[in-house]
Amino acid sequence: MLYRKLLFALSLLAVLSAASAAAPPVFSATRTAHAPRIDGNDDEAAWADATPITTFGAFWDGKQARRQHRARLLWDDEALYYFAELPDDLIRPHGKQHNDRLWLGDVFELFFKPREDSPAYYELEVNPWGTMLELAFPSRAVSFETLLGGPPLGMSVATRTHDGRWVVEGRIPWSLFAATARRPAVGEQWKFQLAFYDYGADGTEPELGSCAPLTVASFHRWEDYAGLRFDAAPAHQK
């Protein structure tokens, strides 16, 4: 009897460990009392409170990014804010028009799926020139071409390039998600992922990376997205 109980306990532990290992990561957006200026600089105190996201890679191929990419997220009653730092020795953007095909050059991408019970999700992109793509997908069945002619959705950005890297700072108003979501409450979680394309010399394939453990090379596979938890402001801001 004791042996059976021990065997059962070990089996249960193995199942729980496997489930834990398979669980997607959950990243934090920190609430702030002081909205950052969108100027491409992270010299404001609010950014020091944000928890860095540094685990980028092509997880579908079992590869980490060649160099460390870093992103941070803040939020308040009006918007979600992001700051990303992308190492890049050969900066090669594509597209100077809103909703151009920015993924054909160096780009930083954000995907959000606020609701599990809806097929809708959002794709936002920025390239080193500050060109933006803003798409609200009712579902994955809707084609890019159907959405590319849409109007701006309200995101604002600032970019800078220097010292073998480029940075982007952005503001996403909650109104951008109005079709499916309201402003989140403290402790709420959404599905999301951050990603990048890094193009090298002519004739080479771009490096792709995501902060979510995607099982296939598709940034639209929201089943594998990470979690984004909207945390309270740190104690020193209260």
Structural domain contains residue 39? yes
Low-confidence ranges of the chain (pLDDT < 50): 1-21
Structural domain contains residue 133? yes
pLDDT of 238 reads 64
Contact 74, 50 (CB under 8 A): yes
Structural domain contains residue 17? no
Distance CA 225, CA 26 (A): 9
pLDDT of 121 reads 97
Structural domain contains residue 6? no
Q: Rounded to a whole number, what is the largest CA-CA distance in the chain? A: 71
173 SS3 class: strand
Structural domain contains residue 120? yes
Q: What is the CATH number of the domain that holds 186?
A: 2.60.40.1190
Structural domain contains residue 79? yes
Structural domains counted in the chain: 1
Distance CA 77, CA 174 (A): 8
Q: What is the DSSP letter of 233?
A: P
Distance CA 191, CA 216 (A): 17
Structural domain contains residue 153? yes
Question: Which structural domain, as residue segments, surrounds residue 127?
Answer: 26-237
pLDDT of 150 reads 85
Distance CA 73, CA 61 (A): 27
- With residues binned 3-state (H G I as helix, E B as strand, rest as coil), the percentages for the chain, rounded to 5, are 20, 35, 45
Contact 126, 75 (CB under 8 A): no
Task: Give the tokens for residue 130.
Answer: 């500050």
Task: Give the tokens for residue 217.
Answer: 């090379």
Structural domain contains residue 5? no
Q: Identify which of 212, 196, 217 has the alpha carbon closest to the alpha carbon of residue 102.
A: 196
236 SS3 class: helix
C-alpha radius of gyration, the chain, whole number: 19
Contact 34, 46 (CB under 8 A): yes
Going by C-beta distance under 8 Å and a sequence separation of 6 or more, which residues neighbour residue 70?
52, 53, 54, 84, 85
pLDDT of 35 reads 96
Cα–Cα distances in angstroms (integers) from residue 163 to residues 86, 91, 185, in the given order: 11, 11, 38
Contact 85, 170 (CB under 8 A): no
pLDDT digits (tens, 9 = 90+) for 42-87: 999 999 999 999 999 999 999 999 999 999 999 999 999 999 999 9
